[in-house]
A and B are shown apart, each in its own frame.
Chain A
Amino acid sequence: MKHKHDAYDVNLFRPKKGYMRGEVVVILVVLFGWGAATFGFQWLIWLAAETPHGCSLLTRFSFFNLPFHFWFTGQLLPLWFIILCVIFNIYIDRLTEHHSRRRDRSYE
């Protein structure tokens, strides 16, 4: 009975073999890209800060007319989120097609 219950074990960090494992891998990769770019960059600004207001090389350097850090946060990050979603969708589409074909079932 214990063994049977374990078959229904669902855990993000211990995915089952098959579709769920592939899905969890891409989820963790995307989440890493999401967190590192968002919070990692703010942390970098903080590390680089030379004045109490956080001015540094990152803020003096101008890019696309904007201070670099302002461009990165205000313009690149939203674009980066779109890119992450595209990557996720392409990967999930292919994963789903792969498993559907294996099961000989049309795409859901």
Chain B
Amino acid sequence: MSNSTVNLLPLLIVIGVLVLFVVSGLRYKSREASDYGVTGRYTGRIGGGAAIASNWMSAASFLGMAGLLYLHGYFALAYVIGWTGGYVLLLVLMAGQIRRFGKYTAPDFVGDRYESGLARLISAVISIAISVIYCVAQFKGIGMVFGWLFGTGYLPGLLLGAAVVISYVVISGMLGVAKNQQLQYFVIIVSFIVPLMFMAHKLGYFWLLPQFGYGEAISDLSQEFNILFAAPFAGGSLFQWTALCFTLMVGTAGLPHVLSRFYIVPNIREARWSVVWGLFFIALIYWSAPAYAVFARLLEARAGIPFTLATAAPAADLVVITMAERGGLPGWVVGILAAGAVSAAFATVAGLLMTGAASFSHDIYYRLINPRASEARKMTIAKGTTLALAALVLAIAVKPAAMIAEITAVAFALAGNTIFPVFLLGIWWGRANRHGAIAGMLTGIVITFAAPLFGGAFPLVATLLPITSSALIGAPLVIAVIIVVSLCTPPPSVEIRRFLAEQVHGHLD
């Protein structure tokens, strides 16, 4: 829906929430400093879970997932499953072991495990690329929400939103605002669930638990309008569903900013249990997302608006907000939805730009270009890189190529084709060596971008390795490459194999 007026009440609520984050972050910081040494930073398992969930929630979860469900129905549940099931892989295969490795970043792990500067460089470049792709999706969400808030449309909204998010990152950095992730999660969950309850109530469905209440709306859709929202293969084939779901799962277990939670946790037992809580908090949102999509389809069908993929797709990423507007919810309810979307996107952008910049300043500049750089010099480089990355992201986001969740999925495919295999074998197979890792990561990069690169000349490539879902075939292929190349070249040094056997896998024997 395009309108040309400023949505004043929602705008004020969005500004209010952003100010709240900065102010509470400042209070959080001073409290932390005064409590230091008495209680430390102990937040417990539930608090840790809320931190994991708020770190995870982005515009892709808040806006993109409902948008794709709205377009593709059951098929898009692959996103719901992929982005929850990935945590199982992360927990059972990686969390405890990378903690026992004791590194700080993904490139650090790769560089030290495989004893290679080149492997470190490649994984740092991959980390930065993942941050950039992921941020492009966030910027698309920010652009659409700001375009809606100011009634200007996408491009002015993007420029305005980008200016606000970059100032937010810079001001937070200058003031040293600590991230209050528990508060952030609270804002996101309330702003996602409360409007949904309003909507379910208004439509006459079971509103106390709209996660179940929307079921009747699915049958109403098929009975009144013959819309097969739930048909399993209406949106994609079994192969497409499986490939997408698997890609998102291995990508989750290979995303540098998700892995980074586990490198230096003080207590791995607490960290493992906080994954359970984190997954629960994430699932609360994901159980609800289909309801937005179903209600949106129902409201449109009742208003007599015809639905075709081509006409619906451009606005689909904003469907969470437009549905609430179309449903006639009060302005303040729509406002808290917009505020939730903006906080999810802002927090993710802040985290990813900093991760990407740290990868450059620490893993590339400090480790490879200027090992004698002072801390102050590294900081300057990191700040400059943050702005450079933001500019790059903005330039790509001017013409977004796909839906928010689809752009994000490309970042997951890249992580699943490169970082995941290198970590998996690095932890679980002592014989994997630097040659294997380098060959594997390069293969993974080519596989990830095979569809746009070779898809035109070889349609089979585009069918087997879709840009959003290449890891079902890609990850096993990369693992095979690492194994074959490692076996053809000398084994890694005795030191690292001994460390792996005694410290990582034999710490209690």
Contacts and interface: CB of A to CB of B under 8 A. Distances in A.
A and B: bona fide binding partners:
yes
A6 to B, nearest CB: 10
A78 B84 contact: yes
B84 A16 contact: no
Contacts of A86: 276
Interface string A34-56: 10001100110110010111110
Contacts of A19: 505-509
The SS class assigned to the B binding surface is helix
Contacts of B232: 42, 45-46, 49, 53-55, 59, 69
A82 interface: yes
Interface string B384-411: 0000000000000000000000000000
Contacts of A38: 81, 85, 245, 249
B365 to A, nearest CB: 33
Contacts of B213: 65
B241 interface: yes
Interface in A78-97: 78-79, 81-82, 84-86, 88-89, 92-93, 96
A79 B233 contact: no
Given A82-B280, A89-B273, A62 B506 contact: no
Contact of A31 (B74, B92, B215, B508): B92
A42 B235 CA distance: 14
A53 B234 contact: yes
Given A8-B498, A11-B428, A20-B506, A77 B85 contact: yes
Given A5-B497, A10-B501, A77-B85, A99 B286 contact: no
A92 B272 contact: yes
B74 A34 contact: no
Nearest to A96: B508
B87 interface: yes
B81 A78 contact: yes
B228 A18 contact: no
B74 A70 contact: yes
B119 interface: no
B195 interface: no
Given A30-B92, A70-B74, A55 B231 contact: yes
A84 B304 CA distance: 44
B233 A9 contact: no
Given A73-B74, A81-B279, A85-B88, A54 B290 contact: no
Range class of the A interface residue count = 35 or more
A26 B85 CA distance: 17
Contacts of A84: 88
Contacts of A12: 428-429
B506 A54 contact: no
A71 B245 CA distance: 17
Contact of B77 (A46, A74, A99): A74
Interface string B234-278: 100010011001100100000000000000000011001101100
- Tell me which of A20, A27, A30, A73 has the highest count of chain B C-beta atoms within 10 A of its own C-beta: A73
B486 to A, nearest CB: 12
B429 A11 contact: yes
Interface residues of B, number: 63
Contact of A74 (B80, B429, B494): B80
A26 B269 CA distance: 16
Contacts of B9: none
The SS class assigned to the A binding surface is helix
A60 to B, nearest CB: 10
- Tell me which of B84, B213, B219, B249 has the highest count of chain A C-beta atoms within 10 A of its own C-beta: B84
A103 to B, nearest CB: 6
A66 interface: yes
Contacts of A73: 74, 77, 80-81
Contacts of A8: 430, 494, 497-498, 500-502
A10 B272 contact: no
A39 B216 CA distance: 27
A64 B219 CA distance: 12
B279 to A, nearest CB: 5
A42 B494 contact: no
Given A38-B245, A73-B74, A100-B508, A85 B87 contact: yes
Given A59-B231, A69-B230, A77 B276 contact: no
Contacts of A89: 91, 272-273, 276
A24 to B, nearest CB: 9
A101 B130 CA distance: 43
B287 interface: yes
Given A11-B428, A65-B213, A92-B272, A85 B91 contact: yes
Contact of A81 (B85, B268, B501): B85
B272 to A, nearest CB: 5
19 contacts: A5-B494, A9-B501, A10-B497, A16-B505, A16-B509, A19-B506, A31-B88, A34-B85, A38-B81, A38-B245, A42-B241, A53-B228, A65-B206, A65-B216, A73-B80, A78-B286, A81-B84, A82-B280, A96-B269
Q: Which 4 A-B pairs have the closest CB atoms?
A: A65-B215, A54-B232, A10-B430, A54-B233
Interface of A: 5, 7-12, 15-20, 26-27, 30-31, 34, 38-39, 42-43, 45-46, 49, 51-55, 59, 62, 64-67, 69-71, 73-75, 77-79, 81-82, 84-86, 88-89, 92-93, 96, 99-100, 103, 107-108
Given A11-B431, A42-B242, A55-B228, 9 more contacts: A8-B430, A8-B497, A31-B92, A34-B88, A49-B232, A65-B206, A77-B85, A78-B279, A85-B279
